[in-house]
Chains A and B, each alone.
Chain A
Amino acid sequence: MPAVKKTVDSVEALERYQHGFITTVDQEFAPKGLSADIVRFISAKKQEPEWMLEWRLAAYERWLAMDEPDWAKVSFPKIDYQDSYYYAAPKEKIGPMSLDEVDPEILATYAKLGIPLREQEVLAGVQGAPKYAVDAVFDSVSVVTTFKKELAAVGVIFCSFSEAVREHPELVKKYLGTVVPASDNYFACLNSAVFSDGSFVYVPPGVRCPMELSTYFRINAAESGQFERTLIIADKGAYVSYLEGCTAPMRDENQLHAAVVELVTLDDAEIKYSTVQNWYPGDPETGKGGIYNFVTKRADCRGDRSKVSWTQVETGSAITWKYPSCVLRGKDSVGEFYSIAITNGRQQADTGTKMIHLGEGTRSRIISKGISAGRSSNTYRGLVSAHPKAKGARNFTQCDSLLIGKTCAAHTVPYIEARNGQSVFEHEATTTRLSDDQLFYVMQRGLSQEEAVQLLVNGFVKDVLQELPMEFAVEAQKLVAISLEGSVG
């Protein structure tokens, strides 16, 4: 059939992963492997205070006694934790600097990725387009943070994590590890020992952050892991919208990304956290290479009437293991989780959320859209629980899976625990296959096969896409299209 031939051709012509280039910059590494000395090395490199080093070392001790979790529906060869670099940084200065001091190669990298680091470029952009501040993290180090002055004018702190440890120790000490304790799980514990950098945000009481904040993570160095740590605090009545994006070069070996994100909302505060995750997924045919994305993300809705909403578009990584969660502690607090997870080629994803209702009148909402294509496996795993005190807790879960082709798999594993008689939990789930009938119908109206798949998939994920900040929704829509190119034929 001509259509099949054409699809095969277009797949071959296509560069499947568009961020796979490698940047050549002088880099500095810690010696390979992991030990207490490496932890000390990292801490010293970052010129950290003693208390921070103690915290790391305690985490390292705990980690040594822990076992890698094996309950997720993913399989991979055992990771040799001694065969990786735990610190890689562009040579030259440590920490964020002015743009003129940043290695031009790194600036070129971000330009290639379409991320504006020069404030004037953002300002010179489309008239009326909302501007957003960027923290760019290259391997282990935050290289530049934009719009800091404008943010400081309203009291918002947006800086690299290392800088926060030095400049705002009282805030870091007060909140670090209070949402995800150092020993929470194997990968979070590893992160606590060796975390490199990440973003720190503090929004003071009553302040609505005047622009979108975003962090772009780029893994560049070979054989290195990336362990960033993000901490966002919205004080009473504050609001902030934050977005993270991630890419990595195409390399044949697997690279570990074990990040921790902690969010805290006090009374009446709100955090909207969006992720567009596009780590290198590995070779679609052989499954060689790609990022292991083993990430712990959790929000503590500590204050009454506070709200956290997670939105994620997951298209990358060889293996995804992540469950952005909400601990709904404050009375009438609200948690939301909107997710699009796409797996193609040989990717494996085990992802979902946890909504833990502790406070009275807490509400949560989960909308998950999983799409599997190629020979991939896509699992939704979610927990909704209500504590005896969480009277009047409500949850609505909608969990849809779409299968493209005949060699992929989708699984849904919901856990529901209500420990009081006054909670209402609803769970809806569907699994459908993108049908040849639908494809033909759309093509008969004039769309090419690729366009038809895009239209059908966009329809499937629409409820989630509309939760993303507008300027990123467009980016996410393109990403969805790219990651499914050549999935039908």
Chain B
Amino acid sequence: MLSIKNLHARVEAAEILKGLSLELPAGEVHAIMGPNGAGKSTLSYVLTGRQGYEVTDGTATLDGEDLLSLEANERAARGVFLSFQYPLEIPGVPAMTFLRTAMNAQHKARGEPEVSATEFLKRAREVAGQLKMDFDMLKRPLNVGFSGGEKKRMEIFQMAMLSPRLLILDETDSGLDIDALKIVADGVNALRSPDRAMLVITHYQRLLDYIRPDKVHVLAAGRIAATGGPELAHELEREGYDKYARAA
């Protein structure tokens, strides 16, 4: 599914990713953990095509197709979804309108027919129910005046509706209380499937109790410093990142 080889990327003058390699096969969930400033968010932005992040070397492919030469929206149409650490507010645009516009833009890019309004509504009610969201929230301008937890839930709602293939979750647990965390994790787990892959970026082990990863990678100083099973996350929780930060 996702294959990253020797990725180097810079933001302005600073090189943040320094030769990162990672293989994420379909059907698997990998966690990326690491200290502040290790390049976790940079990795998510480079993969999704944010401007200002310059790739100087290496490759990233999705099912063999080069991702790095595509625009952000073209990557989205190929099924790359980023759940933002800090979702943005979009004044004046109801969440429903936003999502339907996005969905149809993706369908158009893939040469698929538009989703009918009734079909869309039916699916939206279903997914909102699963995430225990108040349906009226979807009629309000996207994320405007939402609490931190509501914003995160809205991200997962969008993810479920757009049904992407590569799911990148950037610090999805931040700002969530334990009940909300469970609901969000249930929503994410429901999306696990043999033809999808997930990259879960997190600071803390806590989220991984709910979204069980197949592999855990430690990202330090711009590269993968260690890879292991779920037990690695517990070790990091006990011992911290010092060892890896020093080694790098």
- Chain A residues at the B interface, C-beta cutoff of 8 Å: 1-4, 6, 435-438, 440-449, 451-452, 455-456, 458-463
Tell me the bound Cα distance from A6 to B73 in angstroms.
Answer: 13
16 sampled A-B residue pairs with Cβ under 8 A: A1-B52, A2-B69, A436-B51, A441-B87, A444-B50, A444-B84, A445-B158, A446-B76, A448-B105, A452-B73, A455-B90, A455-B98, A455-B101, A459-B91, A461-B92, A463-B92
Distance in Å: Cβ of A466 to nearest Cβ of chain B: 10
Q: Across the interface, do A443 and B73 meet the contact criterion of CB distance under 8 Å?
A: yes
State whether the Cβ of B13 lies closer than 8 Å to any Cβ in chain A.
no
- Chain B residue at minimum C-beta to C-beta distance from A435: B88
Q: Across the interface, do A444 and B82 meet the contact criterion of CB distance under 8 Å?
A: yes
The CB with the most chain B CB atoms within 10 A, among A444, A451, A459, A460, is that of A444
Chain B contact patch, size range: 20 to 34
Q: A443-B76, A445-B162, A459-B93 are in contact. Are A6 and B88 (CB under 8 A)?
A: no
Residues of B within 8 A of A443 (CB): 49, 71-73, 76
State whether the Cβ of B48 lies closer than 8 Å to any Cβ in chain A.
yes
Residues of A within 8 A of B141 (CB): 459
Other 8 A-B pairs with CB < 8 A, given A444-B49, A445-B158, A452-B73: A436-B52, A440-B72, A444-B73, A447-B73, A449-B71, A451-B101, A455-B93, A458-B93
Q: Across the interface, do A437 and B88 meet the contact criterion of CB distance under 8 Å?
A: yes
Residues of B within 8 A of A459 (CB): 90-93, 141
- Chain B residue at minimum C-beta to C-beta distance from A465: B92
- Chain B residues at the A interface, C-beta cutoff of 8 Å: 48-52, 54, 69, 71-73, 75-77, 81-82, 84, 87-88, 90-93, 98-99, 101-103, 105-106, 109, 141, 158, 162
- Chain A residue at minimum C-beta to C-beta distance from B48: A444
Q: Which 4 A-B pairs have the closest CB atoms?
A: A459-B92, A445-B102, A459-B93, A446-B106
Distance in Å: Cβ of B65 to nearest Cβ of chain A: 15
Tell me the bound Cα distance from A441 to B109 in angstroms.
Answer: 18
Residues of B within 8 A of A448 (CB): 71, 73, 105
Tell me the bound Cα distance from A459 to B92 in angstroms.
Answer: 4
Q: Across the interface, do A4 and B51 meet the contact criterion of CB distance under 8 Å?
A: yes
- Chain A residue at minimum C-beta to C-beta distance from B106: A446
Tell me the bound Cα distance from A437 to B41 in angstroms.
Answer: 13
Q: A455-B101, A459-B91, A459-B93 are in contact. Are A446 and B73 (CB under 8 A)?
A: yes
Q: Across the interface, do B71 and A456 meet the contact criterion of CB distance under 8 Å?
A: no
Residues of B within 8 A of A6 (CB): 71
Distance in Å: Cβ of B114 to nearest Cβ of chain A: 13
Residues of B within 8 A of A456 (CB): 90, 93
Q: A437-B88, A438-B90 are in contact. Are A447 and B50 (CB under 8 A)?
A: no
Q: Across the interface, do A445 and B91 meet the contact criterion of CB distance under 8 Å?
A: no
Q: Across the interface, do B92 and A460 meet the contact criterion of CB distance under 8 Å?
A: yes
Tell me the bound Cα distance from A3 to B92 in angstroms.
Answer: 26
Residues of A within 8 A of B98 (CB): 442, 445, 455
Tell me the bound Cα distance from A462 to B118 in angstroms.
Answer: 24
- Chain A residue at minimum C-beta to C-beta distance from B77: A446
